[in-house]
Every structure is written in structure tokens, then in C-alpha cells.
């Protein structure tokens, strides 16, 4: 009988029920914190852009129209 071993699958099955080590836990927490920092920076940058465009629109008295029909006067 020919048996093929998929080493990655075999490794994943062995480590599936293994508890997380202290080092793995801290590394995971560091990765999650880094992702949170990146998301916060991205949100802050987005907020700055939105406020900048809002200030420009307010300065030039640009008003948003509710829909295309009001643009054409229908």
C-alpha cells in the first residue's frame, strides 16, 4: 500500500490541540497591537482628510445636491 505523507498537514494536526506557549502568546499580542496601531493611524489620517475637504467645501460655499435630478432642475 502506497502512503503519501503531507508533512504540513501532519504538522498542523499535531499542533492543533497543543496549548499556546508563552512566547507564541506574546508574539501574537505584539502582532495584534501593531495591527491596531496601523488601523488607528489610518483612521486618523482619514479623519484629517475628511476634515480638510470639509473645510475647503465650507470655504468655497460648495453645497451638496441631494440627487442628479436637482442638478438639472427637474
Condensed to tens digits (0 to 9), the pLDDT of residues 17-29 reads 778 889 989 999 9
Q: Quick check: is 52 in a domain? A: yes
Residue 42's domain comprises: 21-72
Mean pLDDT of 8-36: 82
Task: State percent of the chain over pLDDT 70.
Answer: 66
Q: Is 28 inside a domain boundary?
A: yes
Query: What pLDDT does residue 1 have?
Result: 46
**The pLDDT of residue 28:** 92
Q: What is the average per-residue pLDDT within 37-63?
A: 89
Domain count for the chain, please give it.
1
* Position 41 in a domain: yes
Domain-located, residue 12 = no
Within a domain: 1? no
For the record, the C-alpha cell of 54 comes out as: 470639509
Amino acid at each position: 500500500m502506497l502512503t503519501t505523507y503531507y508533512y504540513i498537514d501532519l504538522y498542523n494536526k499535531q499542533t492543533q490541540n497543543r496549548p499556546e506557549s508563552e512566547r507564541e502568546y506574546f508574539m501574537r499580542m505584539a502582532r495584534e497591537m501593531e495591527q491596531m496601531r496601523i488601523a488607528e493611524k489610518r483612521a486618523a489620517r482619514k479623519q484629517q482628510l475628511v476634515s480638510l475637504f470639509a473645510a475647503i467645501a465650507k470655504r468655497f460655499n460648495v453645497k451638496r445636491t441631494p440627487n442628479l435630478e436637482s442638478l438639472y432642475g427637474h
